[in-house]
Structure 1
Amino acid sequence: MYRFLLTPRWIALHVVVLLVIPAFVLLGQWQFGRFEERSANSDLVTRNIESAPVPLETLVQPGRPAKESDRFKNVTVTGTYDPQQELVVRRRPQGGRPGYYVLTPLPIGGGHAVLVNRGWVKAGATADEYPAVPPPPTGEVTVTGRLRPSETEAGSGIRERSGLPPRQVLLINPASIGRSLPYPLLDGYVELTGQEPAGAAAPEPVTEPDVGAGGGLNLAYGVQWWLFIGIAIGGWVLLIRREVADRKAQESVPEPEEVRAD
């Protein structure tokens, strides 16, 4: 009754099912892995955003780079802005509007400085035109902000290039920016959320970080792939049972008797 399972057509079906099942298992495992990774990242970012501010020097020092695990932690740092070395960061839209981040060095004593992203300004009439930027406060200020690791081409998806207009950059990379400054920069940068004194005018604040959905879609996709395993096995069994039923039905039909001549 089951010899039909060894015919070429059915062998091909067995091979397809045996290939599909491990493929669906691997796809489900990959989605579950992405779920765990994104959920862990979302939890980390949420904890860091909600953390109490700590002095910047406890997280970043000369020769001690900013850690990925410390990104978005709230820090405080005191120094005096150097507007003469201020830069703007290109290709930073906000709220659907083209514009720039304003990057101002903040010397903090000890011969070092840290880059502060003071906020966002809208683009000028052309991409080569330096935008209108509110000046930073003069004198000593205490900055509160989120610690961000240095940007790289691999991490940001932005390709650095030469030939940009003066005082414009594409990546917030202290190692690269520091080559043209008269003082060394600490690694990473501070994304300003507040400062004392506040100053008469300021760029628009940078939008709050997106902590993500925690990988909920990846969890759903993983479950979906594993449900497909059951569908594939169920469909395979159903086809076999249907074939057996059809063959039994054919065998139960009586053969027509030969008509005898009188």
Structure 2
Amino acid sequence: MKIRLVPALLILIVMAVTIRLGFWQRDRAHQKEALQAQITQYENASAQTVSAVPLALKDIEFHRVRAKGTFLPAQVVYLDNRPYNDQPGFYVVMPLKLDDGGYVLVNRGWLPRSIDDRTRIAPYLTPTGPVEVEGIARADATRAFELGAGGSAAHQKIRQNLAVASFATEAGLPLQPFVIQQTGFVSSTATALKDGLVRDWPAPATDVERNYGYMFQWWGMAVAALGFGLYAARRAATKERTQAAQSTPGSQGPVHGAKDA
């Protein structure tokens, strides 16, 4: 059987690519499993204090943190399209001026949105004096899909997304490069304050199962490519044998002459 070079190379290329992609998805799943283990470890660790000293995002993300300061309600931003229990609403993101002069953004919680008027903000309370908040350091206040700039243009109270670095430039504040996802207040006076915000945060999603699913899909495609190649080779070999048999002299059987007179 002759092996046709071009089809064989195509099959091998497809198999190499799909096998490599399967291993890549497996590695991504392992990375996410390690991240999930770290997140669990951080949740059980002591809270770190946030001050004016700059902290690198990679060193603080997903850690429990505490921060003392005063909220700046004049620079609040409402992040739209953040549903909770299938109800539309906002995330209330507000700068906190730290006691030592630094600043950090705080995702204070969820607020329901008016069905009739998107711009109508439901009432909630903001402490006017010093508070101490506790929460989880996150890279941002979650991101929602948007086309282009969408509702994230600067100087709008209601936006779709909020980038920390861009908002720091816009507000003129030396913000820490992360957002505190507030879980509650630390001081007893602030704890008694019913601010009207919901802080039932979803657990960070790592989607490990999705990566394993993609891994098996890619490897399944590699097996399918191998099966197709073997099937095509078998058909080609059968066709070659048939043609060879037909072209062999005498393969059509004996030729009978006329009967003797």
**What TM-score, normalized by structure 1, do the two folds share?**
0.77
Distance in 1, matches of 2:144 and 2:15, equals 31
**Structure 1: runs of 5+ lacking an equivalent:** none
CA RMSD of aligned residues (A): 3.3
- Report 1:55-94 matches (<5 A): 55-57=48-50, 61-62=53-54, 64-67=55-58, 70-94=60-84
- Equivalent residues in 2 for 1:43-58 (5 A)? 43-51=34-42, 52-57=45-50
- Percent identity between matched residues is 20
**Displacement after TM superposition at 1:247 (Å):** 4.8
Question: After superposition, where does 1:1-262 map in structure 2 within 5 Å?
Answer: 5=2, 11=4, 14-51=5-42, 52-57=45-50, 61-62=53-54, 64-67=55-58, 70-124=60-114, 125-127=116-118, 129-150=119-140, 158=146, 159-160=148-149, 166-179=156-169, 181=171, 183-196=173-186, 197-198=190-191, 199-205=193-199, 206-214=201-209, 215-247=211-243, 250=246, 255-261=253-259, 262=261
* 1:193 partner amino acid: T
- CA shift at 1:241, angstroms? 4.0
CA contact (8 A) 2:61 2:178 kept: no
Which AA in structure 2 matches 1:185? L
TM-score normalised according to structure 2 size: 0.77
Amino acid at match of 1:258: H
Residue identity opposite 2:50 in structure 1: E
With over 3 angstroms needed to count, the CA separation of the structure-2 counterparts of 1:23 and 1:193, relative to structure 1, is same
How far apart, in 2, do the equivalents of 1:26 and 1:82 lie?
53
Structure 2, unaligned runs of 5 or more: none
Equivalent AA in structure 1 for residue 212 of structure 2:
G
Residue 130 (structure 1) shift: 3.6
Contact 1:173 1:188 in 2 (8 A): no
